[in-house]
């Protein structure tokens, strides 16, 4: 929030020196005067404008008043602080408060903090695109378009919402053009607001935004060190409606409906009635649908699309089979915009070899984008793919069991699979949960990982569905080994029980920005208190790869203290975490992890302490300690 008293103050040279002092004290003296870091912006000319984006305005006000009252300080520091200009410039970059982790800490997908959101339900950044293609029929509750779009995501990135939450990647629901008409699913009239009913893989749906919007989103995210994961669908087209014809028989099947009794009855079938299944097993050439060709012609891009397809099939030698058209169309977004990964929808309903084919082309596209945009490359990580193999759990290891066949999806292009088991495992005690996951990842999934979640868009049995223990939920998710998926609103106790909404619609309400602004309470816990907890844990995870990817060892059962240690490629990271500690004075043993004299930060309270006698003394009102360099 912006504090009005200092929101726009003409401060001239004194203000610049004042800002330098504040930055100096935060960076080099370890002081943390407020919960969110300051954002400084200066204009050229005779005056400078100083802005603060803060989380705790009361503390900030007192801090500013104290500094301003000591005007003599400005005089004595003026000359000395000129030498701090390079350091001050580093303050201008978006960086979460309290993140004093090693600058060289590598980004690891195994430790990722991935924010998953429904594009239509997160934030409305452009109200002019809210109604498209005559989508005006009255939909059932939470089953129509509600205005969220790509610009809305970008706006929140720019505001620093994801930085403060420690998010390292954003996965949003598909934004390709959806069927134009509504569908009766038995739960009321529904539009394709969720993005999983594709009509045209080569165009974005204007309800979500334009290709320019997508390009801006990716570029903005990358400037903040955030990766972008596109949600992609190969398994099916959208339903048939009065406005949306069925794709040709060479492309889709409409029967049988999946019985889920084995591999074939899960793969070679339609998920539900009126959801045509792409014939991904076919290698026979298929002509492009006449309706699609006519559409491209009306949009003035027919020849360009055909030329690009000719070039693709000539380069790859693939047959013009349905799956290869879609693979080409999807990897175009990687080649053009540099998206960092795919979340692959309905992964177990497609022959696993198709995912390997997609990965091959995605790798080529990603490497090509990096080669042509060397100044925009974030790091040396390759393309990322995470699969939705519905029902997969970490205890299965590498192979998902269909009953009559076991399939290793990790060998077919996937870095990770969504872990549907975590929501149940989260009921374990902390040590049982953490040690079990560390062991399974080490022994069963070396070189791979899982994506844990407590709630999602189509899981009717989430952990803590009533949001009665959001602090505990955040602790378990964000401190557990493996990657973390934060479903939009987990961090703000967004309700998952909406009266009048049927089926998965109740999981898909609009982001509760109004409750956050008003600091509403749910089940006796203030929304901002929940958010602050998730922010601290998220920033801790982001700064320290050991949290999600390190070896786990319990140091003390009561009080509960553990360490995580990560070491690879010449980089080493260690953390010590205490949970359920007494509030007030507490001594944490770090012997064998951090040597005496080591300066550590408690990422939860913001305190800086030096190890002495194998211990760190912390005095705070919290029962959590997050210690690291």
Task: Write the DSSP assignment of 17-54 as a string of letters.
Answer: HHHHHHHHHHHHS----SSS-------SSS--EE--B-
Buried b (16+ CB within 10 A) or exposed e, 168-177: bbbbbbbbbb
Residue of 240, 236, 88, 212 whose CA lies nearest to 150? 212
- Domains delineated in the chain: 4-91 (no CATH), 109-286+321-542 (3.20.20.80), 551-628 (2.60.40.1180)
Residue 106: what are its φ and ψ, rounded to 5°?
Answer: -80, 150
Does position 174 have pLDDT exceeding 90, yes or no? yes
Contact 178, 192 (CB under 8 A): yes
Would you call 374 helix, strand, or coil by DSSP? Answer: helix
Of 78-92, 260-274, 432-446, 561-575, the range with the lowest mean pLDDT is 78-92
3-state secondary structure at position 100: coil
Compare 102 and 283 and report the one with higher pLDDT. Answer: 283
* pLDDT above 60 (res 162): yes
pLDDT digits (tens, 9 = 90+) for 381-421: 999 999 999 999 999 999 999 999 999 999 999 999 999 99
pLDDT at 569 over 80: yes
Q: Which long-range contacts (CB under 8 A, 24 or more apart) does 373-380 make?
A: 373/338, 376/219, 376/222, 376/338, 378/107, 378/222, 378/225, 378/227, 378/340, 379/106, 379/107
pLDDT of residue 488: 98
pLDDT at 624 over 50: yes
Average pLDDT rounded to a whole number, residues 127-132: 98
CA-nearest of 195, 224, 202 to 117 is 195
State the sign of the Cα–Cα–Cα–Cα dihedral 343, 348, 351, 352. positive
Give the pLDDT of residue 26. 39
The one-character DSSP state at 118 is: -
Q: How many CA atoms lie within 13 A of 502 on its CB side?
A: 9
pLDDT at 543 (0 to 100): 98
Do residues 280 and 296 lie in contact, with contact meaning Cβ atoms separated by under 8 Å? no
Tell me the whole-structure pTM to 2 decimals: 0.86
Active site positions, annotated: 345, 388
CA distance linking residue 54 with residue 305, whole number of Å = 48
Question: What is the pLDDT at residue 119?
Answer: 98
User: Is the per-residue pLDDT at 16 higher than 90?
Assistant: no
Q: What are the two backbone dihedrals, phi and then psi, of residue 67, each rounded to the nearest 5 degrees?
A: -70, -45
Distance between CA atoms of residues 390 and 258, nearest Å? 14
Whole-angstrom Cα distance, residue 316 to residue 464?
48
Say what angle helices 302-316 and 290-298 make with each other, to 10 degrees. Answer: 130
d(CA 71, CA 84): 19
Q: Is the peptide bond before 601 cis (omega within 30 degrees of 0)?
A: no
Beta-ladder partners of 609: 600
Strands 449-452 and 483-487: parallel
Under the banding of pLDDT at 50, 70 and 90, the label for residue 32 is very low
Return the structure tokens found at 605: 């309270």
Rounded CA gap, 243 and 180, in Å? 6
Answer yes or no: are the C-beta atoms of 545 and 106 closer than 8 Å.
Answer: yes
Question: What's the pLDDT tens digit per position in 60-77?
Answer: 433 434 443 444 444 434
SS (H, E, C) 204-228: ECCCCCCHHHHHHHHHHHHHCCCEE
**CA 473, 608, 98, 524 torsion-angle sign:** positive
Q: For the segment 509-563, what is each residue's pLDDT rounded down to a tens digit?
A: 999 999 999 999 999 999 999 999 999 999 999 999 999 999 999 999 999 999 9
- Judged against a pLDDT cut of 80, whether residue 29 lies above it is answered with no
Spell out the alpha helix ranges (H) of 373-469.
422-425, 430-443
Q: What is the DSSP string of 451-485?
A: EE-S--SS-SS-TTTT-S-HHHHHHHHHHSSSEEE
pLDDT at 5: 36
593-596: list long-range contacts, CB under 8 Å, 24+ apart. 593/555, 593/563, 593/565, 594/627, 594/629
Instruction: With a cut of 90, say whether residue 101 has pLDDT above it.
Output: no
For residues 266 and 235, the answer to whether their CB atoms sit within 8 Å is no
**Residues with Cβ within 8 Å of residue 155, at least 6 apart in sequence:** 123, 125
Confidence of residue 304 (pLDDT cuts 50, 70, 90): very high
Confidence of residue 105 (pLDDT cuts 50, 70, 90): confident
Do the Cβ atoms of 241 and 382 come closer than 8 Å? no
Distances (CA, A) of 369 to 161, 168, 215, 589: 28, 20, 13, 48
With beta carbons less than 8 A apart as the criterion, state whether 389 and 417 touch: yes
- Closest by CA to 283, choosing from 248, 324, 232, 226, is 324
Tokens representing 26 are 């935060």
Distance between first and last Cα of the chain? 29
Give the ranges where 519-610 is alpha helix by DSSP (H).
527-543, 546-549
d(CA 121, CA 191): 13
Q: Please, what is the average pLDDT of the chain?
A: 88
Residue 422 has pLDDT above 70, yes or no: yes
- Strand segments, DSSP code E, in 211-296 are 227-232, 252-253, 277-278
Tokens representing 598? 């080591």
DSSP states along 120-181:
HHH--S-GGGSS-TT--S-PPTT-S-----HHHHHHHHHHTHHHHTT--EEEE---EEEPSS
98 — phi, psi (to 5°)? 80, -5
Whether residue 86 has pLDDT greater than 90: no
Query: Per residue in 212-235, pLDDT tens?
Result: 999 999 999 999 999 999 999 999
Closest to 200 (Cα-Cα) out of 182, 175, 183: 175
Beta bridge partners of 173: none
């Amino acid at each position: 929030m912006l504090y009005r008293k200092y929101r726009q103050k003409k401060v001239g040279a004194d203000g610049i020196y004042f800002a330098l002092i504040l930055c100096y004290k935060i960076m080099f003296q370890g002081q943390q005067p407020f919960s969110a870091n300051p954002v400084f912006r200066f204009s050229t000319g005779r005056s400078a404008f100083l802005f603060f984006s803060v989380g705790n305005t009361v503390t900030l006000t007192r801090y500013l008043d104290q500094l301003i009252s000591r005007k003599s300080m400005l005089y004595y520091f003026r000359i000395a602080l000129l030498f701090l200009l390079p350091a001050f410039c580093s303050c201008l970059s978006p960086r979460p408060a309290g993140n004093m982790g090693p600058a060289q800490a590598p980004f690891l997908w195994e430790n990722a903090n991935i924010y998953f959101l429904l594009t239509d339900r997160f934030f409305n950044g452009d109200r002019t695109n809210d109604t498209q293609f005559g989508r005006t029929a009255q939909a059932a509750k939470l089953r129509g378009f509600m205005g969220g779009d790509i610009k809305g995501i970008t706006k929140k990135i720019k505001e620093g919402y994801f930085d403060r939450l420690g998010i390292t990647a954003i996965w949003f629901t598909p934004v390709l053009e959806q069927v134009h008409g509504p569908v009766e699913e038995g739960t009321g009239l529904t539009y394709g607001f969720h993005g999983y009913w594709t009509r045209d893989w080569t165009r974005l749906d204007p309800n979500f935004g334009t290709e320019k919007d997508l390009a801006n989103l990716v570029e903005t995210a990358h400037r903040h060190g955030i990766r972008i994961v596109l949600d992609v669908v190969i398994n099916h087209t959208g339903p048939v409606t009065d406005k949306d014809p069925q794709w040709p028989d060479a492309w889709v099947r409409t029967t049988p409906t999946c019985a889920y009794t084995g591999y074939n009855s899960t793969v070679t079938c339609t998920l539900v009635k009126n959801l045509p299944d792409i014939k991904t097993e076919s290698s026979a050439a298929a002509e492009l649908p006449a309706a699609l060709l006519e559409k491209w012609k009306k949009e003035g891009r027919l020849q360009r699309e055909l030329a690009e397809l000719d070039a693709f099939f000539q380069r790859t030698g693939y047959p013009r089979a349905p799956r290869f058209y879609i693979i080409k169309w999807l990897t175009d977004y990687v080649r053009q915009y540099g998206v960092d990964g795919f979340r692959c929808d309905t992964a177990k309903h497609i022959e696993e070899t198709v995912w390997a084919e997609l990965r091959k082309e995605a790798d080529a596209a990603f490497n090509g984008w990096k080669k042509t945009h060397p100044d925009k490359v974030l790091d040396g990580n390759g393309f990322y793919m995470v699969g939705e193999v519905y029902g997969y759990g970490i205890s299965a290891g590498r192979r998902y069991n269909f009953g009559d066949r076991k399939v290793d999806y990790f060998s077919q292009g996937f870095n990770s699979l969504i872990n549907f088991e975590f929501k149940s495992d989260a009921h374990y005690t902390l040590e049982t949960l953490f040690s079990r996951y560390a062991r399974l990842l080490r022994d069963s999934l070396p070189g791979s990982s899982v994506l844990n979640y407590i709630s999602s868009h189509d899981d009717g049995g989430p952990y803590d569905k009533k949001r009665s223990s959001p602090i505990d939920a955040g602790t378990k998710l964000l401190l557990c080994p493996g990657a973390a998926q934060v479903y939009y609103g987990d961090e703000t106790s967004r309700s998952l029980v909406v009266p009048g909404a049927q089926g998965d619609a109740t999981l898909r309400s609009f982001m509760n920005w109004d409750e956050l602004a008003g600091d509403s309470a749910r089940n006796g816990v203030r929304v901002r208190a929940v958010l602050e907890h998730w922010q601290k844990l998220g920033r801790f995870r982001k700064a320290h790869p050991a949290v999600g990817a390190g070896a786990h060892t319990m140091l003390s059962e009561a009080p509960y203290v553990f360490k995580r240690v990560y070491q690879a490629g010449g980089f080493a990271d260690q953390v010590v975490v205490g949970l359920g500690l007494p509030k007030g004075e507490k001594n944490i043993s770090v012997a064998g992890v951090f040597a005496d004299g080591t300066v550590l930060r408690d990422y939860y309270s913001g305190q800086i302490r030096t190890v002495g006698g194998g211990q760190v003394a912390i005095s705070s009102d919290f029962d959590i300690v997050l210690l690291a360099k």
